Structure 1
Amino acid sequence: MIQARLPLLALLLPLAACASPSAEYPSLAVRDAERWTGTMAAGEAEPYVPVPPGVPTLERAAQLVTEARSLHAEFLAAAPNVRSRVSAAQGASVGSDSWAVAQVAVADLEARRSRVMVALADLDLIYAETSNAGEAIAPVADERDAVAAMVEEESALIADLLARLAR
């Protein structure tokens, strides 16, 4: 039975190849009814005005600046004594008593600077939190910049003292 169907199937296959559509298929291009033209005016965008930071944030930042100024004043008060010790150790051999005393004095200045740097790190944290909250950062940035300037001044002084000590 299967063998009788195979020749019949072989005769029907060429007939399928002769089949063609009676009309053209529709185009897939965009039709005129599907075209959309026109203009749309964009609305006037209001500029973003960030809200000022909260009072607790500003108070904490002010407290950190006050603390940094006090610590910076202590640093500057200790600097002349360290300068004199470094001057006394200039030309001394590494490991001598005067060199060791000068190194300890510079280390004390570095410890004082690190306390100002802690205040700067806290201000950096407040700055980042304020920025992430979408609040105005200018008040915090000004205070942060003031403390950063103190740290830069202290770092420059320490670098100068260490350079003089290395001669």
Structure 2
Amino acid sequence: MNSQFRPRLAAAQIVALGTCLILSACASAPGYPSLAKRPAERIAGTAQPASPPPVAQAPTPLSPELQARLAQLVGRARAAHAVFTAGKGKADRLSSAARGAAVSSEAWVVATVALAELESRRSEVMISLAELDSLYAREKVDGGDGVSIAAARDQVTAWVADEDAVLAELRGRMRA
């Protein structure tokens, strides 16, 4: 071993021996703490049985104005979804024709425009969905149950999900 490392090794051994002596002094102290439960850890309480869940109440009827607004939003979403569905065939044909085409080719541009038209119809459905979400949140904040609004919102959400799946498929086909 190199002579320059010997003093460092000796110093490290002394520090280690000192640490061991100090720790052993702590261990030899009388009166180890008990591992038994302390009073604060003992279980005691005054629990009461839970009250039964509230009985479901019949949905509160919507005001005539809110019913009319709900019907208008669902009708607008239904009409936009119908236009989307009608344009799906054209976009399907055009995206199939653009499969593998160069990005700026005629087939790719025409298919991209058809997809943009479908996305425009989807955005109209999304606007209705956003307004339904707003109505639902307002109804819940005001203490209503929002069951009728939630049902309409669920229907529009299903249309949006269907449209999203169609658009994803068509976009994927154009990338292939």
TM-score strictly above 0.5: yes
8 A contact 1:67–1:119 mirrored in 2 = yes
Aligned length: 125
Q: Which residue does 1:165 correspond to in 2?
A: 174
How far apart, in 1, do the equivalents of 2:56 and 2:92 lie?
51
Out of 156, 164, 176, the residue aligned to residue 147 of structure 1 is 156
Task: State how far apart, in whole Å, the 2-side matches of 1:70 and 1:128 are.
Answer: 24
Post-superposition shift, 1:44? Answer: 9.4
Q: CA deviation at 1:108?
A: 1.0
Q: Kindly indicate whether residue 83 of structure 2 is the aligned counterpart of residue 92 of structure 1.
A: no
Q: Does 1:133 align with 2:135?
A: no
Tell me how far 1:47 sits from its aligned partner.
Answer: 4.8
Q: How is 1:106-117 mapped onto 2 (pairs within 5 angstroms)?
A: 106-117=115-126
Tell me how far 1:91 sits from its aligned partner.
Answer: 1.5
Structure 1: segments with no counterpart, 5+ residues: 1-42
Please provide the CA RMSD for this pair: 2.0
Residue among 54, 60, 66 paired with 1:57: 66
Aligned to 2:84: 75
Gaps of 5+ in 2: 1-50
Q: Match for residue 113 of structure 2?
A: 104
* Structure with max Cα Rg: 1
C-alpha distance in structure 2 between counterparts of 1:116 and 1:100, whole Å: 25
Superposed counterparts of 1:6-17, under 5 Å = none
- Shift of the 119–45 alpha-carbon distance from structure 1 to 2, 3 Å rule, reads closer
TM-score (norm 2): 0.66
**Structure 1 vs Structure 2: percent identity of aligned residues?**
41
The normalised TM-score by structure 1 is 0.69
Question: Quick one: which amino acid aligns to residue 118 of structure 2?
Answer: L
